[in-house]
Amino acid sequence: MQDIWRLSAAELAGLIRSKKVSAKEAASAGLARLDAVNPKINAVIEHRPREVLAQAEAIDAAIARNEALGPLVGVPVTVKVNIDQAGFATTNGLKLQRDIIAQSNSPVIDNLRKAGAVILGRTNCPAFSYRWFTTNLVHGDTKNPRDASITPGGSSGGAGAAVAAGIGHIAHGTDIAGSIRYPAYVCGVHGLRPTVGRIAAFNAALPERTIGPQISAVSGPLARSIGDIRIALAAMSGKDARDPWWVPAPLEGPAMPKRAALCLQPDGLETSAEVKAAVADSGKRLQRAGWTVEEVASPPLREAADLQTKLWLGDGYEAQLAAAEREGDPGALACLRGNRAKVFPFDADAYSRALTRRATLTREWLQFFETYAVLLMPVSGELPFPDGLDMRDEASFARVWRAQLTQIAIPFMGLPGLTVSTGLVGKVPVGVQVVSGRYREDLCLLAGEAIEAGGTPPSPIDPVS
């Protein structure tokens, strides 16, 4: 069979389950695609073909023994270089961590393997996973396969670029301020930031995370179809006692009326005409699918974004800055220095106020989702940025952060958010963000499938310069 790598994860798993394609054939096709296009985009920064083929051969042997098969049986996937995979360095884009070799797998890796997935390779991220761009001093620059002049996104830029270019059928990413949703947006694929506690995560190779990341950072999937996002979410959501935040919430919640809120300029976000048009078009797609869509004002976002930035960067700011100075990464230093006035000092009193406000703002959002199943709003206030825009000057740095309001805010409440890619403006992708209440990824996906049905950019693609 030609071009196995083009298939959806669902299609490929079905073919492997029915023995029409072997897991080894799928892995070989994935490796060949990686070899063909990765040199142009540098999405995958480490892979071991022998180990990949060994994983696939073990799956074929299990199929031959008629053993129970998982939903991702034989499907090649990629994982981000900031989670533990036994025998690999958990670099998080850092020279400082290139010798930190994981002795065990993150729960995400274990759950993917239990679902039958083949781990194809590890994808790039910016240093410390700080930016909406992907470059670092240990693995180099990742390029957007749709247009090398625009960012591939960050921090899961390698994940977005890989899945858009057909390297793996699903990509793992992480998101504390947009790091799944933005790469999906700019690479023209889909990406789900799940509810905090939905997908278990833990890196035994690294120190325990501070409270901000514990209550806002998540792992989640990027893929070329919403159907594959749905399968990946189920596969990645398995129980793991190593994560004290994991919650045994059902993947399907109670039925709600198909009522969507739409907001083109949430909390005063400066939204470009092209982005407004994409969000409005998504609302029309939902209406055609039988949803009621009402244009409304969103609950507060700006305060949530400010507090999320403090919890993310302000907690231990001086230690983070010292580490960035040792690393010497210009982008990481620009991120920390550019936000210093917003986040430092962050003392115990400020910490307490932030966590107290979190309860108030989260309550307001949860009450909003008692009325509306989902909220449609921009992923970013702008079309995808020119690559490296945040490093150009102070005004450009401020522009980048200002446009990402909705991405930064949603994690403060721990809510799920789905990027649905809806089209191209020229050759630049555009899309919409779908948000719902806690553990209601099912509602995000239900709306996402209706929006997706109205058209998406062609995918996978061959990288272009």
User: Could you give the residue numbers annotated as active site?
Assistant: 80, 155, 179
Residues 6 or more apart whose Cβ sits within 8 Å of residue 62: 69
Q: Give, in degrees to the nearest 5, the angle at Cα 135 between 219 and 345.
A: 70
* Structural tokens at position 10: 């669902």
Beginning with the edge strand found earlier in the chain, give each strand of the sheet holding 259-262 in spatial order: 44-46, 118-123, 76-80, 170-175, 218-223, 190-193, 417-425, 428-435, 374-377, 259-262, 292-295
Instruction: Of 227, 2, 221, 207, give the one whose Cα is nearest residue 84.
Output: 207
- Alpha-carbon distance 186 to 212, whole Å? 26
- Report the run of H or E that residue 399 belongs to, with start and end: helix 394-403
- Measured CA to CA in angstroms, residue 64 lies from 16, 118, 233, 430 at distances of 11, 17, 27, 44
Secondary structure class of 401 (helix, strand, coil):
helix
Residues 6 or more apart whose Cβ sits within 8 Å of residue 63: 16, 17, 19, 23, 69, 73
Of the chain, the end-to-end C-alpha distance in Å amounts to 29
**Residue pair 164/459 in contact by the 8 Å Cβ criterion:** yes
- Measured CA to CA in angstroms, residue 106 lies from 90, 327, 372 at distances of 10, 25, 35
CB count, 10 Å around CB of 239? 11
For 312, list phi and psi in degrees, rounded to 5.
Answer: -75, -50
What's the sign of the alpha-carbon dihedral 441, 303, 272, 188?
negative
Long-range contacts of 28-32 (CB under 8 A, 24+ apart): 28/53, 28/56, 29/3, 29/4, 29/5, 29/76, 30/4, 30/5, 30/76, 30/118, 30/120, 30/167, 30/168, 31/120, 32/5
